[in-house]
Copies of this chain bind each other. A is one copy, B any other.
Amino acid sequence: MILKNQVEWVLHCCAILAGLPAGKYLSTKDLAEFHGVPKEYLSKALQHLSQAGIVESTLGPSGGYRLARPADAITFLDVVEAVEGSGRTFACNNIRNNNPCRSADHCDDKPCAIARIMWQADDAWRESLKSQTLSALIGTLEQEVPADLWTKSANWVLAKT
Contact = CB atoms under 8 A, between A and B. Distances in A.
Contacts of A152: 101
Interface size on A, as a range, is: 35 or more
A99 interface: yes
A11 interface: yes
A59 interface: no
Contact of A7 (B90, B128, B149): B90
Contacts of A153: 99, 101
A89 B26 CA distance: 30
Interface of A: 1-5, 7-9, 11-12, 15, 33-37, 76, 84, 87-93, 95-102, 106, 110, 113-115, 117-118, 120-129, 132, 137, 140-141, 144, 146, 149, 152-153, 156
The 4 A-B pairs with the shortest beta carbon distances in the complex, nearest first, are: A36-B98, A121-B128, A125-B125, A101-B152
